[in-house]
Structure 1
Amino acid sequence: MTRLLLLLTLLGVWSCQEPQQKNKPVSISGEIVNPTDPFVILYKGEQPIDSARLDEQNRFELRIDSLESGLYNFYHRPEFQYIYIEQGDSMQIRLNTVAFDESLVFSGSGEVVNNFLIDFFLESESEENLIREALVPMEPEAFSAKLDSLKVRNISQLEELNSEFPITEGAYHTAQASILYKDYYYREKYPFWHRKMIADAEGVHELPKDFYAYRSEVSYDDLSLTFLKPYHDFMVFHIGNLAYTSCKKACVIDKEEVRDQLHFNQHQLKLIDSLVTGDELRDNLFRTVAFDYLLKYDSEENLEVFMTDFLSRSENNRHFHEIEALSEAIRNLSPDQQLPELMVENSDGNLQSLQELAGTGPVVFYFWSGPQQHHLANITRRVRSLNEEYRDYRFVGICLRTEKARWKSMLASYSLDPENQYWAEDFENFAHTLVVYHPYKSIVAKDGKIVDGFANLNTSF
């Protein structure tokens, strides 16, 4: 929290909201360094609230007369981050898309809670690996004690911050929930992480009777937290954990493959239906289960059974058309199907279809994007290794979610062979048609037809 406390010391107290601010419009302005899109868009859940075009200095301003206090999403394609807004806020944002989250800084009214949230988000990202490596090997009692200490530290920091720079009750609730549900998430994950790290473990270890005591504090209907990442991440794994317990009692399972099996995912659907009441959270959790299962497609028969069960519990799901489109796209990527008629552009600006690129010899298509530079470095090393081992294959990279000029500059920066690199303009169409939801997703094709529509660069070769 050093960055946050220093910033607040320099800028002073902006968060003390005067009563008359409730009648003032909301103003959100700022600057984006190295923009990747001409616009910024503000979303409430999945609904766009307002948008603004960047000017010649890459600055923008959003002005909203009236809104409901709570979490919103600030979106600058292809990146987004949530932001807590209250009526009357006048906030400035500055970021650099090269390191979108790491460079994001808020100033003005509302800065206290938003800088806390972004700092906690970044801290949690680096913290998870440390927890897995240092704490997960511990026995349950020791693990819980360490997490208790971490939670107390984080809550104390929030309380100290609130004492010096008071924030509203709603803002405090959101910040506190970030801490608590991240803590709950680690506790839900622990038995499965621990089992994997202990080679001779059989099943999930027996836990102390009070290990899941925090579950009595879980809210399944807190609408204000629906789009808060720690809350959503917890709910996803919590439902899966409960489903695993149900499966152990009611089903014959292979513990290594249970999450891929139809009956396990049906347990998840049943639990969401019985526990979760908020419409948006229900729909989002149903969608998560559907995507996770469909992307592990095993048979047409099971797909139909799953979809029938899904529809019986979530008939009016707002994501239904997306889920239906995914199931159809999966069928279209079956072996011996023709590659979809999608066009890509080479470094000379010439268009070619995927079928043309796979016209002779076996081809492996893989995907990357400019903002995910760590992933690009990893995937580049992997492809160079595969090129040495599979000399009969042509490995073709397709860049998504990146401006053309930036893509071209990255070819040189990463020493990528322009002959085997292509750029796709329509990310949404590519992602949906080719089911690009995994970072190492690849497609093996030959003679314009699909050999394996769901290959993985790390595990399939």
Structure 2
Amino acid sequence: MNRNLLYCFILLIASCNTVEKGSPSVFFAGEIVNPTSKYVVLQKGEEVIDSALLDTNNRFSFSFDSIPMGLYHFKHAPEYQYVYLEPGDSLMVRLNTVDFDESLVFSGKGEDVNNFLLDVFLGNEKEEQIVRKNYNALESEDFKQKINTLREKRINALNTLNDEGGLSTNAYTIAEASINYAYYNYNERYPFEHRKHAKDKKIAKLSDDFYDYRKNISFNNKQLNYLRPYYDFMRSHFGNLSYMTCSHKCIIKNQKVKNNFHFNKHKLNLIDSLVVEKELKDNLFRNVAFDYLLKSNDIEKNNEAFIEEFHRLSGSNRHIKEIDDLYLGIKNIQPNNKIPNIIVNNISGDKISLQEIAKNKKVVFYFWSETDKRHYSNIFKRIEHLKTSKPNYTYIGINFKTSLDSWKTILNTNQLEAKNQYTTDDFEELTKSLIVYPLNKCIITKDATIVNAFASIYGKI
């Protein structure tokens, strides 16, 4: 679509959907070039507000008689992005999925705050690389001054926009928070990132006012719950607090936590004591549970104690079933248990269970998907190496989220042994039963009995 046609389209939409000044109604529409889905879904937090089917020209529209002001997300699978809406808005968006975020442009009533939020989002991605270098290069006071200078530059740009466009109080608050919490997060991460490059590998001594911004943070602002810089800050903040206040029982040895159970239990209690807004608290609790259960690979006794503490503090958590399912899945793949009897398909389309595949031999199960070519290319190379260095194992690939034709093409292109490759139609069952995280994990079995369900394909087999 050339620029003149785009302007005509915007004027046509605007004329058909005029929103009177002071009206509570909201109109949000747009065009998607190279669509990857038939729908656009509008969400507020985790709640789906509405969905719109793309028409023959790849355009969509939402129209509401009234809608609460605030931050929303629009999703066009697999991508998504913020959109801020408030009564009276008549907003247009255009994007190309080949370059989703970078091609996105808002126009119409409500464009100022949305284009600003998008600029902050894109700026944060670029700035992250610069800040990462400063973690290493700068001492704490110089780093703090650098971050403050960057933050003030963006705040000044926001104030200029506000003076020119007159943002609503709520829109200004969201935009300001998107700036502040990104820079607050850099400060929270600084001691640990700096330690990685320090010669003595110790946490740097910080001035008494290094965290002076903490007196301005809010634990009870529902509008910010799904603002990415705010949530990322909260994760870093509670990790920081837990480390700094838990040095005895957590057994911090060589500046690193050794008792992950106590550390994460302590983090749950800190979140419970400080966070007021329930949805934020639920989400942070979920993050801690996933982080502990998936990454620590702790003993079963500690996992059970952690879940008991989780239920005690957050028994009404909106994610409780998801956490319980994860815990049960981990419990079921402990050593000496039989590998879960998941059904997969072979190259001929026949169904077979993992227990059948693994009986009477030593097996390494690994996982891959067409969605990450770099990952599966590296995995295939690693498997070829292991076949030579560890020939007493059979290496079984389990594929997911790949069409049948693509799967077969990848097998042929990479000259893989089809007899040792399987695919699944039920990704949810696979991930729930085998805890396929991280993707570099592998499961080692002997005669269908689990030896190690949390091994790394790049580690010791």
Q: TM-score, normalised by structure 2?
A: 0.84
1:4 corresponds to which residue?
A: none
State the distance in 2 between where 1:425 and 1:82 align. 32
More displaced, 113-122 or 213-222? 113-122
2:429 corresponds to which residue?
A: 429
C-alpha contact (below 8 Å) 1:135/1:146 kept by paired residues: no
Does the residue aligned with 1:362 lie in a helix, a strand or coil?
Answer: strand
Alignment of 1:131 onto 2:131: yes
Q: 1:250–1:329: structure 2 CA closer, same or farther, 3 Å change rule? A: closer
State the distance in 2 between where 1:351 and 1:158 align. 59
What aligned pairs does 1:401-416 form with structure 2 within 5 A after superposition? none
C-alpha contact (below 8 Å) 1:41/1:74 kept by paired residues: yes
Q: State the 1:378 CA deviation.
A: 4.3
Amino acid at match of 2:230: Y
State the distance in 1 between where 2:460 and 2:107 align. 48
2:160 corresponds to which residue?
A: 160
1:207 corresponds to which residue?
A: 206
User: C-alpha deviations, 1:222-257, integer Å up to 9, x for none?
Assistant: 111011111011101101111111112565433555
1:264 corresponds to which residue?
A: 263
Q: State the 1:190 CA deviation.
A: 0.5
Amino acid at match of 1:272: I
What aligned pairs does 1:351-370 form with structure 2 within 5 A after superposition? 352-355=352-355, 357-358=357-358, 361-368=362-369, 370=371
C-alpha contact (below 8 Å) 1:397/1:421 kept by paired residues: yes
Q: State the 1:278 CA deviation.
A: 0.2
User: C-alpha deviations, 1:23-57, integer Å up to 9, x for none?
Assistant: 3243334325241x433322211111111233444
Does the residue aligned with 2:310 lie in a helix, a strand or coil?
Answer: helix
User: C-alpha deviations, 1:281-339, integer Å up to 9, x for none?
Assistant: 01111111111112223122212222222222112111111111110010122234333
2:75 corresponds to which residue?
A: 75
State the distance in 2 between where 1:64 and 1:73 align. 16
2:278 corresponds to which residue?
A: 279
Alignment of 1:377 onto 2:374: yes
Alignment of 1:183 onto 2:180: no
Q: 1:363–1:459: structure 2 CA closer, same or farther, 3 Å change rule? A: closer
What aligned pairs does 1:20-39 form with structure 2 within 5 A after superposition? 20=21, 22-31=23-32, 33-35=34-36, 37-39=37-39
Q: 1:205–1:315: structure 2 CA closer, same or farther, 3 Å change rule? A: same
Q: 1:424–1:200: structure 2 CA closer, same or farther, 3 Å change rule? A: same
What aligned pairs does 1:201-350 form with structure 2 within 5 A after superposition? 201-202=201-202, 204-248=203-247, 252-255=251-254, 257-258=256-257, 261-295=260-294, 296-345=296-345
Q: State the 1:68 CA deviation.
A: 0.8
User: C-alpha deviations, 1:342-378, integer Å up to 9, x for none?
Assistant: 34456776655444554555233223452xx4xx314
Does the residue aligned with 1:67 lie in a helix, a strand or coil?
Answer: coil
Alignment of 1:173 onto 2:177: no
State the distance in 2 between where 1:281 and 1:264 align. 20
Does the residue aligned with 1:68 lie in a helix, a strand or coil?
Answer: coil
C-alpha contact (below 8 Å) 2:329/2:433 kept by paired residues: yes
State the distance in 2 between where 1:288 and 1:345 align. 33
More displaced, 133-142 or 359-368? 359-368
Amino acid at match of 2:334: S
More displaced, 418-427 or 314-323? 418-427
Q: 1:434–1:66: structure 2 CA closer, same or farther, 3 Å change rule? A: farther
Structure 2 gap segments, 5+ residues each: 1-5
State the distance in 1 between where 2:291 and 2:331 align. 16
Amino acid at match of 1:33: N
State the distance in 1 between where 2:99 and 2:407 align. 16
Amino acid at match of 2:374: A
- Alignment coverage as a number of residue pairs: 442
Q: 1:438–1:126: structure 2 CA closer, same or farther, 3 Å change rule? A: farther
1:3 corresponds to which residue?
A: none
RMSD: 3.2
What aligned pairs does 1:11-22 form with structure 2 within 5 A after superposition? 20=21, 22=23
1:85 corresponds to which residue?
A: 85
Q: 1:398–1:283: structure 2 CA closer, same or farther, 3 Å change rule? A: same
State the distance in 2 between where 1:55 and 1:19 align. 26
Amino acid at match of 1:176: E
Structure 1 gap segments, 5+ residues each: 1-6
Q: 1:38–1:403: structure 2 CA closer, same or farther, 3 Å change rule? A: farther
Q: State the 1:145 CA deviation.
A: 1.4
State the distance in 2 between where 1:211 and 1:307 align. 35
Identity of aligned residues (%): 41
Amino acid at match of 2:27: V
User: C-alpha deviations, 1:144-192, integer Å up to 9, x for none?
Assistant: 1111121122222323333444432222211211111010111011001
C-alpha contact (below 8 Å) 1:344/1:354 kept by paired residues: yes
State the distance in 2 between where 1:164 and 1:57 align. 35
State the distance in 2 between where 1:145 and 1:253 align. 29
Does the residue aligned with 1:311 lie in a helix, a strand or coil?
Answer: helix
Q: State the 1:429 CA deviation.
A: 3.2
C-alpha contact (below 8 Å) 1:21/1:88 kept by paired residues: yes
Amino acid at match of 2:381: R
C-alpha contact (below 8 Å) 2:330/2:435 kept by paired residues: yes
Does the residue aligned with 1:335 lie in a helix, a strand or coil?
Answer: coil
